[in-house]
C-alpha cells in the first residue's frame, strides 16, 4: 500500500479522513484487479475538484485583473486548468509515486498517463475540499496552479496556435494564412484529416486530427515551430 503520509508531510496538511486521500489516487482500473478494495475510484472526486479549481482560478483572475475583459480572462483560465498543465504539476509533485493503477495501466506512459495524472490532481483537490474546506484548497491552488500564470501570459500559450500563427504571419509577412484539406480517410463516424496551412502558395506545414479543427490547430502549431515564430 502507498504511504500517503509522505504526501501529507509534503503539503503540511493532515487529512482527517485518510480514506478520501487514498480514493483520490485510486484509478478505476485498480478496482478491476482489486474488487475488495475498501475505497471507490476517484472519478467523483475528480468531478468535484475540477469545479473547485475552476472557481478558485476564476475568483483570483476576477479580483486581480479588474480591467481585463471576460474573453481574455476565459483564455487565461483555460490555459491554466488544461490537462497538460495539471498533469505536469502533478508530475512535479510526484503524484506518479502514489497512483493506484492496474498492472496494465501502470505500464502505460505518454498521453494516457498524462490524462490520469491531470484527473488525479483534480481528484486530490476534490478530496482536499471535502476534508479541509475551500480556503485550504484556495491556498493550494494559488501555490501550485495560479503560480503558472505569469509564464502563460508571457509566452502567450493561452492563445490557440491558429490565432498566434495568423497574428505572426500578418505582422511579419503581411499574409493571412489559409487552410486546405490535403487528405481525408476513414468511415463517417471516425474521419481523419490531414490539413495544410499556406502562406499564399507556400505550404508551410501540415497537421493531422480527427476533425478539421484539430488538424488545422496541429498544422498551425507545426508552422509556428518551422518558422521559429
Q: What is the DSSP letter of 180?
A: E
Q: How far is CA 70 from the centre of its chain?
A: 21
> What sign results for the dihedral spanned by CA atoms 118, 121, 127, 133?
negative
Nearest to 177 by CA among 197, 203, 194, 207: 197
Residues noted as catalytic: 50, 122
| Rg, C-alpha atoms of the chain | 21
d(CA 169, CA 64): 32
Q: Answer yes or no: are the C-beta atoms of 180 and 194 closer than 8 Å.
A: no
d(CA 229, CA 227): 5
d(CA 79, CA 163): 14
User: What residues have CB less than 8 Å from 81, skipping those under 6 apart?
Assistant: 50, 53, 54, 57, 145
Amino acid at each position: 500500500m502507498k504511504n500517503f503520509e509522505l504526501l501529507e508531510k509534503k503539503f503540511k496538511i493532515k487529512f482527517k479522513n485518510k480514506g478520501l486521500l487514498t480514493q483520490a489516487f485510486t484509478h478505476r482500473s485498480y478496482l478491476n484487479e482489486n474488487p475488495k478494495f475498501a475505497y471507490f475510484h476517484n472519478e467523483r472526486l475528480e468531478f468535484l475538484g475540477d469545479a473547485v479549481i475552476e472557481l478558485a482560478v476564476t475568483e483570483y483572475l476576477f479580483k486581480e485583473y479588474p480591467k481585463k475583459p471576460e474573453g481574455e480572462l476565459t483564455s487565461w483560465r483555460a490555459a491554466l486548468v488544461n490537462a497538460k498543465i495539471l498533469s505536469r504539476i502533478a508530475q512535479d509533485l510526484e503524484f506518479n509515486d502514489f497512483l493506484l493503477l492496474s498492472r496494465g495501466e501502470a505500464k502505460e506512459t505518454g498521453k494516457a498517463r498524462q490524462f490520469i495524472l491531470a484527473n488525479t490532481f483534480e481528484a486530490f483537490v476534490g478530496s482536499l475540499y471535502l476534508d479541509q474546506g475551500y480556503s485550504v484548497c484556495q491556498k493550494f491552488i494559488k501555490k501550485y496552479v495560479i503560480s503558472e500564470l505569469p509564464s502563460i501570459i508571457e509566452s502567450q500559450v493561452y492563445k490557440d496556435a491558429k490565432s498566434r500563427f495568423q497574428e505572426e504571419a500578418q505582422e511579419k509577412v503581411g499574409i493571412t494564412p489559409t487552410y486546405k484539406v490535403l487528405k481525408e480517410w476513414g468511415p463517417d463516424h471516425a474521419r481523419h484529416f490531414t490539413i495544410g496551412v499556406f502562406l499564399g502558395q507556400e505550404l508551410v506545414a501540415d497537421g493531422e486530427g480527427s476533425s478539421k479543427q484539430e488538424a488545422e490547430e496541429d498544422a498551425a502549431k507545426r508552422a509556428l515551430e518551422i518558422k521559429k515564430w
